[in-house]
Amino acid sequence: MSYPSLLFTEKASGKSIDKNVFEDVKLSLLFSGEAINAMRVLCPPNDIPVRQELFKLLLKSGNTVLGRFKELSQVADNIRRLDEALANSRCDNERNYLYLNLLGFLVQFYRLAADVEEGGGALLNRFKGWFINETSGDTFKSIEARVNELEDYNTAVRVITQRMVGDNLWLRLEDPDTYVNRLKAAARDLGLKDIKTERDTAIQIGPRYINALAQLHPEKFLAFKDFYEDFSGFYDRSILSYRYELNFYIETAALFDRIIKLGLPLCWPALTAERKISISGACDVSLLAKNVTDIVPNDIEFTQEEP
C-alpha cells in the first residue's frame, strides 16, 4: 500500500540535511524531533509552491484543516504506540487483541482523512481523494463493520479486566472510592499507619495472565483471532510517516501564527532559475525560542560566487 504524501507530489528527493544543522541554527528549540525529521528531507523545487498552498489554507481564518490535522496527529500517535506494542506482543492472544485496537484507530484515521476540508491545493486534495476512494472500498467497509461489531467484546475485556496504558496491557487500577479505601483514609486521618506497604497496582500483564483471560472469555478471544486472520494483511506501517508530516504542518503553522501576531514580516519565497538565495529584511526566528521579539532584520544573499 502506498499512502499519498502530504510533503511530496511525487517522491522524496532522497537527500537529507544533517540533524546537527537544526541544532546549530537553534530550530531544535522551536520544533519537535518529528517535525525536524520531516524538514531534514530536502524539498524538490516543484513542491515548494504546492506546500505553500497548503500553508496558506492552514493560516486562513475559519478553516477546519488545522484542527483536523491535530486530530489526525493524535490518532496517528495512537497507531504508533499500538504498532510498537504489536511488535513486542508475547503471545497470539495479546497480538490479536492489540491488532483489533490498532485497526480501530486506523479506521478512525481513514474516516477523518476522507472528511478533511477541500481547497488546500494539490497535496491536500490528493490526500483527501485517496482516503475517500479507500473508504468506499469493500475491504475497508468490511474491516469497519467488524471493528464495530467487536466493540462490545473489546470494551468488555478492556473495562472488566484490563486497560490500555501507553503501548502495554496493564492490570486495571482499583477504584479509589471503595469502602476499603475510604476506611484506610479514615484510619490515616486518625494517625494510624497502614499495616502493610502498598504496592504499585500498575503491574504489566504477562502472557500467562492473558492466556488465562482468554480461557475465561473464549468467545471474545476467538473473535479477536478470527479478525486478525481475516485482516492481518491490511495494516501497512508506512502510515506512521504521517506523524512526521502532520506535525511538520501543525508546528510550522503555529510558528507562522506567532510571527504574524508579533507583527514580524512573513513572506512566501518565489522560485528563480538563478542559483542564488536573496532575502531582504530576514529575521532570525530562532530568537523566539528565547522570547526575544525585538528582532533586528538583515539582508541575506547567497550566490555561487559567494556561498
Q: Which of 139-143, 272-276, 300-304 has the highest mean pLDDT?
A: 139-143
Reported as a single tens digit per residue, the pLDDT across 207-225 is: 787 888 888 889 999 999 9
Average pLDDT over residues 157-185: 52
Task: Provide the residue range defining the domain that includes 244.
Answer: 19-271
Q: Are residues 141 and 283 in the same domain?
A: no
pLDDT of residue 178: 54
Identify whether the C-beta of residue 8 lies closer than 8 Å to the C-beta of residue 48: no
Answer with the residue of higher pLDDT: 73 or 295: 73
Is residue 69 classed exposed, middle or buried when 0-12, 13-18 and 19+ CB atoms within 10 A define those classes? buried
Q: Are residues 215 and 231 in the same domain?
A: yes
pLDDT of residue 169: 47
Q: Residue 126, CB half-sphere, CA atoms under 13 Å: how many?
A: 15
Q: Are residues 219 and 305 in the same domain?
A: no
Q: Are residues 278 and 260 in the same domain?
A: no
Average pLDDT over residues 192-216: 63
Domain assignment of residue 2, yes or no: no
Q: Are residues 243 and 95 in the same domain?
A: yes
Answer with the residue of higher pLDDT: 222 or 205: 222
pLDDT of residue 182: 60
Q: Are residues 26 and 130 in the same domain?
A: yes
CA distance 250 to 80: 18
Is residue 299 classed exposed, middle or buried when 0-12, 13-18 and 19+ CB atoms within 10 A define those classes? exposed
pLDDT of residue 160: 52
Sign of CA dihedral 65, 67, 72, 77: positive
Q: How many domains does the chain have?
A: 2
Domain assignment of residue 25, yes or no: yes
Is residue 36 within a helix (H) or strand (E), and if so which, with residue range? helix 33-40
Reported as a single tens digit per residue, the pLDDT across 90-119 is: 899 999 999 999 999 999 999 999 999 887
Q: Binning pLDDT at 50, 70 and 90, where does residue 253 land?
A: very high
Average pLDDT over residues 65-87: 94
Domain assignment of residue 13, yes or no: no
Domain assignment of residue 94, yes or no: yes
